[in-house]
Structure 1
Amino acid sequence: MHRALLIFEILLEIFKHVNATQDPIALFLPKISAPTYLAALARTCKTFYEPAMNELWAEIYGLNPLLGCVTRLYPIIYRAKRPSYKHPDFDDIEPLSANEARQFLRHAARVRSIHLEVAFNHHFRLLSVLPEKTCMFPRLQSLFTASLPCPTRYLHLFLSPTLRRCVLCAIVSDLKLIVTRCTALEHLYLMSSGPTSSDTMSILSDSVRVCKRLVTLYFPPLDWAAWEHLSNLPTLFTVTVDMRSMVTSPSNLDNISLGPFLNLTALSFRAQTAAYITSLMQHSEFPSLKDIVISFCQFPWADAERFFYAISQFKACQTLEKIRITSWCSGGQDPDNSWTAITHLRRCPQLRVLNLQCPYCCAHLDNNSLLEAMSCWPHIRSLELNDTKCRQATITFRGLFAALRQCPHLDTLRMLIDAMNIDVDPTTEPSSSRHTSLQLLDVRSAKVVDTEAVARIIFSMLPCVDKVYHAPDSSHANAWHEVRNYLKDLKSSAVVESP
């Protein structure tokens, strides 16, 4: 055996590749699961045993694999030739003896990730023999559970001091105990399907304030005291807030004091209205924020005006690279004649991706305002403007190409274009006017009549666009199919003539 295989760390890396879901070796070997290969490696020699077993038990689903190590329970869990999978029935089985508990725990120390489901909760009565303060998984790093992992009296079994990632699909009263005992917690995902009451928010907020090393956080609504704690965490990089289940609106939005969110780079919100996130932006700095994703259920123009104005005054404007804002419902009156959303985003010079799918995002947008905005985004690569209230295109081809010249790296564009007004003659335009980076053009539901002329404009001015996309349910879909066919013929002719 090569001496490199005597190094434990090298063996671990090799066995991790064996355990990978997309293993290249599987192309040349029979269809055998990775655990089978790892078990075979563990039986090969003493040198392979420890690293192979560590990888074999690294991730488990439920407690069945460990219970299967108990001689008495093995035939119950691994019944041969079962017609269909179902969870074994443990209701009439005696709890584990002291010796059987040692068999059960034999490999538990190797487990680093466990996934639990509600159906596994009946296992815990079998573990009553375990001492009260036993940590069943001393090396556990990730816990995924569809509910509270077990009754409170057995919670200590999962509270490993090494736990880094915890995913809970319900907010429970013992949450504070979990985060208090697991001081190394870095990634916390708390999901709630039902309404978030004031008591639930209080439990959640008190628990979050205990966490000192959070890097990633996904959670329902918090009170402002918890937000203040998070705003001063230097370890925090990613935050996702799902406020759609919030019963009552947060109070004292104008009387909050937040820290700078010093290293936060990604912020995502799902909310009913824009009030919460608007106040958050107005009361903090986010000096490292690069990615913001927001989805609103209701986005009337008055809220949109305050929200986009808050972004324009946002200190993070200088660092923002990606902005995605989505809403399909507006309500209220239409904006005045001087308002358009993207004019508020001109203070974002580092912008790479802008995706606005909301009412009024293109309100009163014209060639001049588009040119002014895109002149401020020299690094932008993807621009999508989908105004759910806009029915008439206002950007002509000439205005579009003037704006594109300001963004040499743009490769994706989705917006409504005035393809009826043919104001560009590609035969008279200088070659320097061509945009050679744009590859994907989506004209949404734009009207078109002179399909051949439009195809020639795209062929001449956007040489890297091979196909024009459009809204599939548009009444002008057939006309755009003609444009695509003309464009295909033009490109085919150019290939034939090039030699």
Structure 2
Amino acid sequence: MVDWATWKHLSHLPTLRKLEIDQGYNDHPSLPKQDIVNLSFLHITSLSFQQLYDAGDIITVMQHWQFPSLKEFEFEAHRFSSEQAEQLFHALSHCNACRTLEEISICCYDDNFVGDDESLTPIPHFLCFTQLQTLKLMFNNFYIYLDNDMLLQAMSTWPHIRTLEIDDSGDRVPSSEISLRGLFTAIGLCPQLHTLQVPIKIATIDINPDAEPIQHTSLRSLALDLSEFLIDAETIARIISAWLPCVDRVQNINGLSWLQVNRHLRSLRTATAPCVAGAS
């Protein structure tokens, strides 16, 4: 903990580009309220908060400080309530970095969480970040709600996105309304997307496996979390093979198996020409 004069001095240093705050222990002094003032860190491009056991002070800081040059934001907490999470999402979207922020990573590893199944809706808060290239959201204690319309709006807003990873709620049933058609429609708007991890719901297969596919040739890593068992692994493998020619396998999330899909996918790959190495 440092005083207001020190924070003010740091905020004006023209050579200070990266600020990392590591709490690292449970019994920490509370941030003096008189030191939480409106400051603008004009030159900070990378901001990181690590090993947080009490996120309240940091969220208050984010609500009062501006980072107009910020490109990277990382937040890792051990304890985090849904109210604090929504406050953080809101504060980040109002820190004056909408035109600069390229990478967001927010993680909470609260293995001792016991309570009602709660959902978060961070995506609408981040639609202002039109330069976003990486978004990683990982929560052991909450659902992150997604549906087709929300994913489509996000992808249409983030044309430069390369990595989108959403992993929530440990081994509980994911809260997702994303269908296969919704997934492929959305990622078609992001030609640079390389890594995708999202929850998905396949109650029915809403894509004709024999229709002419719109291929996405930059995607290499695909991980999908299911809220139910696969109903037709072979058909899903045919669709993935046709639409995502550079995806060799679907990774498992939270122990739900894609083994049958991957088995069919391998057979299809050996029967077709390999993906062009230079595709992007």
What interval of TM-score do these two structures reach, taking the shorter chain for normalisation? Answer: 0.7 to 0.9
Deviation string, structure 1 residues 22-43 (Cα, Å, up to 9, x no partner): xxxxxxxxxxxxxxxxxxxxxx
- 1:244 is aligned to 24
Q: 1:449 aligns with which of 231, 242, 248?
A: 231
Q: CA deviation at 1:318?
A: 1.6
Q: 1:373 aligns with which of 154, 171, 177?
A: 154
Contact 2:69 2:100 in 1 (8 A): yes
- 2:178 is aligned to 395
Aligned length: 267
| Structure 1 residues 233 and 227, CA gap change in structure 2 (3 angstroms) | same
Contact 1:228 1:257 in 2 (8 A): no
Q: Does 1:287 pair with 2:65?
A: no
- 1:313 is aligned to 94
What TM-score results when the alignment is normalised by the length of structure 2? 0.86
1: CA distance, partners of 2:35 / 2:208: 54
Q: CA deviation at 1:358?
A: 1.7
| Structure 1 residues 402 and 325, CA gap change in structure 2 (3 angstroms) | same
Q: CA deviation at 1:485?
A: 1.4
Contact 2:209 2:235 in 1 (8 A): no
2: CA distance, partners of 1:444 / 1:223: 46
Q: Give unpaired runs (5+ residues) of structure 1.
A: 1-220
Q: CA deviation at 1:224?
A: 3.8
- 2:103 is aligned to 322
Q: Does 1:417 pair with 2:197?
A: no
Q: Does 1:352 pair with 2:130?
A: no
- 2:278 is aligned to none
- 1:404 is aligned to 187
1: CA distance, partners of 2:2 / 2:184: 46
Q: CA deviation at 1:257?
A: 3.6
Q: Does 1:268 pair with 2:48?
A: yes
Matches within 5 A, 1:477-496: 477=257, 480-495=258-273
Contact 2:3 2:35 in 1 (8 A): no
SS in 2 for 1:494: coil
2: CA distance, partners of 1:426 / 1:458: 9
- 1:233 is aligned to 13
Deviation string, structure 1 residues 95-142 (Cα, Å, up to 9, x no partner): xxxxxxxxxxxxxxxxxxxxxxxxxxxxxxxxxxxxxxxxxxxxxxxx
SS in 2 for 1:317: coil
2: CA distance, partners of 1:248 / 1:369: 40
State the AA in 2 paired with 1:282.
Q
Q: Which has the higher contact order (CA 8 A, sep 6+)?
A: 2
1: CA distance, partners of 2:218 / 2:94: 31
State the AA in 1 paired with 2:95.
F
State the AA in 1 paired with 2:194.
D
Matches within 5 A, 1:155-234: 221-234=1-14
2: CA distance, partners of 1:332 / 1:225: 42
Q: CA deviation at 1:238?
A: 0.9
| Structure 1 residues 373 and 325, CA gap change in structure 2 (3 angstroms) | same
Deviation string, structure 1 residues 157-207 (Cα, Å, up to 9, x no partner): xxxxxxxxxxxxxxxxxxxxxxxxxxxxxxxxxxxxxxxxxxxxxxxxxxx
| Structure 1 residues 464 and 415, CA gap change in structure 2 (3 angstroms) | same
Which has the larger helix fraction? 1
Contact 2:162 2:193 in 1 (8 A): yes
1: CA distance, partners of 2:236 / 2:29: 52
Q: Give the stretch that moved more between structures: 361-370 or 406-415.
A: 361-370
| Structure 1 residues 361 and 351, CA gap change in structure 2 (3 angstroms) | farther
Q: How big is the alpha-carbon RMSD for the aligned residues of Structure 1 and Structure 2? A: 2.4
Q: 2:244 aligns with which of 426, 451, 462?
A: 462
- 2:77 is aligned to 296
SS in 2 for 1:306: helix
| Structure 1 residues 442 and 290, CA gap change in structure 2 (3 angstroms) | same
Q: CA deviation at 1:335?
A: 4.8
Q: CA deviation at 1:464?
A: 1.1
SS in 2 for 1:423: coil
1: CA distance, partners of 2:217 / 2:74: 29
Q: CA deviation at 1:444?
A: 3.8
Greater Cα radius of gyration, structure 1 or 2: 1
Q: CA deviation at 1:495?
A: 3.1
Q: 1:440 aligns with which of 213, 221, 241?
A: 221
Identity %: 39
SS in 1 for 2:6: helix
| Structure 1 residues 334 and 391, CA gap change in structure 2 (3 angstroms) | closer
- 1:46 is aligned to none
Deviation string, structure 1 residues 258-280 (Cα, Å, up to 9, x no partner): 2x222211111021233233222
Q: CA deviation at 1:295?
A: 0.2
Deviation string, structure 1 residues 371-404 (Cα, Å, up to 9, x no partner): 1112110000000001126613421111111111
SS in 1 for 2:177: coil
